[in-house]
């Protein structure tokens, strides 16, 4: 873990970051200009706040960085938090951004003759094997998961498996690939997450940021 | 050579401790045990392996999923390798030492083995040291063990220590008071474990108000206690809060410089704790140094408290001490002189055969100095 007053905030790349930027501005975190330059190769960025720096990583890695204390705070969707369920992560603030849901989908044709109540075993392509297994296990269904890192919608089309578990926001991608959402597993939003040891040993600094982000969310 | 390397592969989570780490671990362990001992605690040494039903009884039940089992060919009964020494010490205190005067102060230090490491603590074999204070149910006893953990670690040079005090029974008491059913309790637990304020706020009725308030009542002790005092708590929970206030007050005298934080809802790993519990942290070390708290010992449910420190994290927090210098004694050095130098504080390494170039030989054997006819000479660093 870094030395005193040297806090690291881990943020995810991509879609969530666009929604997160205004919140960061309102919370008073202004990163150096290179942060907003998509061409920049830099990975770690300074900010206007002394001792606070930002790293930009993949959304799954945000949770890992924070769990191991490499970053003290981060922003991650509860899809990622549900998948890993690290005991070292606290998720104190719902940032009310990145709204979507994690759902089970299958080809439209199949859904017309399928009765999910009769399943005993399913094969599912997903980025979230843990969430998927837990969800189906709770219903008494054994799930065999095929881990993919993207383009889940392709899997049923190509005959890899018939069902997928993936994030859905508008449902357009599913529709375009001839899939239909049959079950929602959970609603997803992005959370401010903090490392357990960091919160316990630097309660004022980390607690201050939690309050600040909570205020920004309440005001928004 | 190849076969030698292949043989060096160890099962996951197990490792060889080499110089200088091995001696470092031993000296840190000695330092802790000495600190426990001079506070009037007495050492007990339970065996590595016990019958499963005794080992996993009562508070030991929590360790059941972490315990290695083996069959005893002699008695044909299942045995467990200890994954935690606390239940063993509690067993000793309430059986063989049942007749000893209370409060009984015991300490222990030894290796424990776990079926699986966790992501943050991949080691499966860890050294553990700790104390148990049995037969005392007062805030003074709670404060004593926390202050002892602090002093023991401080003696070893650990800086930036903090203790996080939790009240694992308070959430149970409030849940019972509100008459929540099992599913509702689980939802509350799961949200509190993640400090998910949004999920708590979304819950129905009085749940959101009181648990939302509890979540806010954490952080530095003064601030947290002020917030706790604002809450209307059921009787059992209020009693825990009053105990917390007394313990924090005592700690401000007994453990000067220890940062005390409070987190009333912390619960993970405290499932079997029956009252005020705590976790020790070092700001610069990932993960906790140790934890402890109230539990009921033995069949008689005797009030007890104590703590365990885990050597893997403690070692990361303890600064490496400057090791004593090694002195090379050329072959044929007088035995009395050798003895004198060791008394003077040197580690001596004797040459087993005469050497022409003693300086090179000394350097080869990692000695910083050589004893020559002109006295002790430093080996030049290349």
Edge-first strand order for the sheet with B326-329 is B347-350, B326-329, B369-372, B375-378
B283 to A4: CB separation less than 8 angstroms, yes or no: yes
Q: Helix or strand or coil: residue B121?
A: coil
**Residue B374, pLDDT score:** 86
B284 to A88: CB separation less than 8 angstroms, yes or no: no
**Residue B2, pLDDT score:** 60
A169 in contact with chain B, both atoms CB, cutoff 8 A: no
Among A92, A197, A207, select the one facing B281 at the smallest CB separation.
Answer: A197
Could you tell me the domains of chain A?
7-98+189-219 (3.40.190.10), 100-188 (3.40.190.10)
The CATH code of domain B10-158+298-323 reads: 3.30.930.10
B91 is in an annotated binding site: no
C-beta separation of A85 from A199 below 8 A: no
Report the residue of chain A nearest B215, measured CA to CA.
A92
C-beta separation of A9 from A29 below 8 A: yes
CB atoms within 10 A of CB B363: 17
Sign, Cα dihedral of B183, B263, B241, B151: positive
**C-alpha–C-alpha distance, residues B289 and B310, integer Å:** 6
Binned at pLDDT 50, 70 and 90, residue A2 comes out as very low
Cβ contacts (< 8 Å) between B279 and chain A: which residues? Answer: 200
**Residue A5, pLDDT score:** 64
Point out which residues pair with B372 in neighbouring strands. B375
**C-alpha–C-alpha distance, residues B261 and B222, integer Å:** 8
Cβ contacts (< 8 Å) between B159 and chain A: which residues? Answer: none
Nearest by Cα to B263 from A7, A210, A197: A197
Nearest by Cα to B133 from B343, B307, B357: B307
Fold observed for domain B161-282: BirA Bifunctional Protein; domain 2 (3.30.930)
**∠ Cα B10 B11 B12 (to 5°):** 115
**Residue A112, pLDDT score:** 86
B263 in contact with chain A, both atoms CB, cutoff 8 A: yes
The count of CB pairs under 8 A between chains A and B is 63
Q: Helix or strand or coil: residue A145?
A: strand
> Which residue pairs from B296-301 have beta carbons closer than 8 angstroms and sit at least 24 positions apart in sequence?
B296/B58, B296/B59, B297/B58, B297/B59, B297/B90, B297/B93, B297/B94, B297/B132, B297/B134, B298/B58, B298/B90, B298/B91, B298/B93, B298/B94, B298/B95, B298/B98, B299/B58, B299/B94, B300/B94, B300/B98
CB atoms within 10 A of CB B68: 14
pLDDT digits over A150-185, tens only?
A: 888 999 989 999 999 999 999 999 999 999 999 999
A201 to B194: CB separation less than 8 angstroms, yes or no: no
Q: What tokens were used for A76?
A: 């991650």
Q: Which residue has the tokens 């007062």?
A: B138
Chain B, 30-59: which have a CB under 8 Å from a chain A CB? none
Min Cα separation B61/chain A (Å): 21
Q: What tokens were used for A155?
A: 């899997």
Sign, Cα dihedral of A7, A12, A13, A18: negative
Min Cα separation B260/chain A (Å): 9
Cβ contacts (< 8 Å) between B263 and chain A: which residues? Answer: 200
Nearest by Cα to A72 from A4, A9, A3, A5: A9
Q: Do domains B10-158+298-323 and B161-282 have the same CATH topology?
A: yes
**C-alpha–C-alpha distance, residues B214 and B208, integer Å:** 10
Write the DSSP symbol of residue A35.
Answer: G
B259 is in an annotated binding site: no
**C-alpha–C-alpha distance, residues B304 and B272, integer Å:** 12
**Residue B382, pLDDT score:** 52
pLDDT digits over A34-87, tens only?
A: 998 878 888 899 999 999 999 999 999 999 999 999 999 999 999 999 999 899
Report the residue of chain B nearest A207, measured CA to CA.
B219
Rounding to the nearest 10 degrees, give the CA dihedral for residues B189, B193, B195, B201: -10
Cβ contacts (< 8 Å) between B198 and chain A: which residues? Answer: 93-94, 189, 191
What is the residue extent of each domain of chain B? 10-158+298-323, 161-282, 326-378
> What's the Rg (C-alpha) of chain A?
19
Cβ contacts (< 8 Å) between A51 and chain B: which residues? Answer: none
A89 in contact with chain B, both atoms CB, cutoff 8 A: yes
pLDDT at residue A4 greater than cutoff 60? no
DSSP string, B352-367: SS--S-HHHHHHHTT-
Q: Which residue has the tokens 């079950």?
A: A183
B281 to A3: CB separation less than 8 angstroms, yes or no: no
Point out which residues pair with A12 in neighbouring strands. A57
Q: What tokens were used for B318?
A: 């303890």
Chain B, 194-213: which have a CB under 8 Å from a chain A CB? 194-198
**What is the pLDDT tens value at each position of chain B, 382 positions in all?**
566 677 889 999 999 999 888 999 999 999 999 999 999 999 999 999 999 999 998 778 889 999 999 999 999 999 999 999 999 999 999 999 999 999 999 999 999 999 998 877 889 999 999 999 999 999 999 999 999 999 999 999 998 999 999 999 999 999 999 999 999 999 999 999 999 988 898 888 888 899 999 999 999 999 999 999 999 999 999 999 999 999 999 999 999 889 999 999 998 888 889 999 999 999 989 889 999 999 999 888 999 999 999 999 999 999 987 778 899 999 999 999 999 999 999 999 999 999 999 999 999 999 999 999 888 999 876 5
Secondary-structure percent of chain B, ordered helix, strand, coil, rounded to 5 = 40, 20, 40
**C-alpha–C-alpha distance, residues B86 and B63, integer Å:** 10
A206 in contact with chain B, both atoms CB, cutoff 8 A: no
B194 to A81: CB separation less than 8 angstroms, yes or no: yes
Q: What tokens were used for B280?
A: 């020790």
pLDDT at residue A1 greater than cutoff 50? no
Min Cα separation B277/chain A (Å): 15
Q: Helix or strand or coil: residue A6?
A: coil
Cβ contacts (< 8 Å) between B259 and chain A: which residues? Answer: 201
Q: How many helices (H) and strands (E) does chain A have?
A: 9, 11
B219 to A207: CB separation less than 8 angstroms, yes or no: yes
B114 is in an annotated binding site: yes
How high is the ipTM of this complex? 0.88
Point out which residues pair with B133 in neighbouring strands. B105, B305
pLDDT digits over A80-101, tens only?
A: 999 998 999 999 999 999 999 9
Cβ contacts (< 8 Å) between A67 and chain B: which residues? Answer: 119-120
Q: Helix or strand or coil: residue A50?
A: coil
Among B194, B279, B285, select the one facing A1 at the smallest CB separation.
Answer: B285
Rounding to the nearest 10 degrees, give the CA dihedral for residues A106, A109, A112, A113: -90
């Amino acid at each position: 873990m870094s030395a005193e007053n040297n806090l690291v905030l881990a943020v995810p790349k991509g879609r969530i970051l666009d929604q997160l930027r205004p919140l960061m501005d309102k919370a008073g975190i202004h990163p150096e200009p290179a942060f907003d330059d998509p061409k920049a190769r830099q990975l770690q960025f300074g900010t206007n706040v002394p001792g606070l720096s930002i790293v930009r990583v993949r959304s799954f890695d945000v949770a890992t960085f924070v769990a191991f204390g490499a970053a003290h705070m981060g922003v991650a969707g509860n899809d990622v938090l549900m998948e890993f369920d690290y005991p070292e992560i606290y998720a104190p603030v719902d940032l009310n951004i990145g709204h979507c849901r994690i759902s089970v989908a299958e080809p439209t044709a199949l859904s017309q003759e399928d009765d999910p109540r009769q399943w005993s075993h399913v094969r599912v392509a997903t980025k979230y094997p843990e969430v998927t297994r837990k969800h189906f296990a709770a219903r008494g269904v054994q799930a065999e998961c095929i881990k993919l890192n993207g383009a889940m919608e392709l899997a049923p089309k190509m005959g890899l498996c018939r069902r997928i578990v993936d994030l859905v926001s508008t449902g357009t991608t599913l529709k375009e690939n001839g899939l239909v959402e049959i079950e929602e597993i959970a609603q997803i939003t992005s959370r401010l997450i903090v490392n357990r040891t960091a919160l316990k040993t630097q309660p004022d600094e980390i607690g201050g940021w939690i309050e600040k982000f909570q205020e920004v969310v309440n005001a928004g | 050579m190849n076969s030698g390397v292949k043989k060096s592969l160890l099962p996951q989570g197990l490792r060889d401790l080499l110089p200088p780490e091995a001696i470092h671990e031993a000296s840190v362990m000695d330092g802790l045990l000495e600190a426990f001992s001079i506070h009037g605690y007495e050492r007990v040494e339970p065996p590595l392996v016990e019958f499963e039903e005794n080992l996993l009884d009562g508070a030991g039940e929590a360790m059941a999923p972490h315990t290695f089992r083996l069959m005893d060919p002699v008695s044909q009964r299942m045995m467990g390798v200890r994954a935690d020494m606390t239940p063993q010490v509690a067993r000793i205190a309430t059986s063989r030492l049942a007749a000893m005067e209370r409060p009984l102060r015991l300490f222990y230090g030894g290796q424990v083995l776990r079926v699986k490491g966790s992501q943050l603590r991949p080691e499966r074999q860890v050294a553990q040291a700790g104390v148990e204070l049995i037969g005392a149910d007062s805030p003074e006893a709670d404060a004593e063990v926390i202050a002892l953990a602090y002093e023991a670690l401080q003696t070893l040079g650990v800086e930036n220590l903090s203790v996080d005090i939790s009240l694992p029974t308070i959430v149970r008491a409030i849940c019972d008071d509100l008459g929540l059913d099992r599913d509702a309790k689980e939802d509350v637990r799961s949200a509190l474990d993640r400090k998910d304020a949004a999920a708590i706020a979304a819950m129905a009725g009085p749940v959101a108000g009181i648990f939302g308030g509890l979540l806010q009542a954490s952080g530095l002790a003064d601030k947290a206690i002020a917030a706790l005092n604002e809450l209307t708590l059921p009787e059992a929970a209020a009693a825990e809060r009053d105990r917390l206030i007394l313990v924090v007050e005592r700690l401000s005298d007994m453990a000067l410089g220890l940062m005390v934080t409070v987190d009333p809802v912390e619960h993970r790993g405290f499932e079997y704790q029956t009252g005020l519990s705590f976790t020790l942290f070092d700001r610069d070390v990932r993960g906790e140094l140790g934890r402890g708290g109230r539990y009921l010992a033995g069949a008689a449910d005797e009030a007890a408290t104590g703590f365990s420190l885990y050597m893997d994290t403690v070692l990361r927090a303890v600064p490496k001490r400057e090791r004593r210098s090694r002195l090379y004694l050329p072959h044929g050095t007088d035995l009395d002189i050798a003895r004198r130098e060791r008394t003077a504080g040197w580690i001596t390494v004797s040459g087993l055969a005469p050497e022409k170039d003693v300086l090179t030989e000394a350097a080869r054997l990692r000695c910083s100095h050589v004893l020559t006819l002109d006295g002790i000479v430093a080996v030049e660093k290349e």
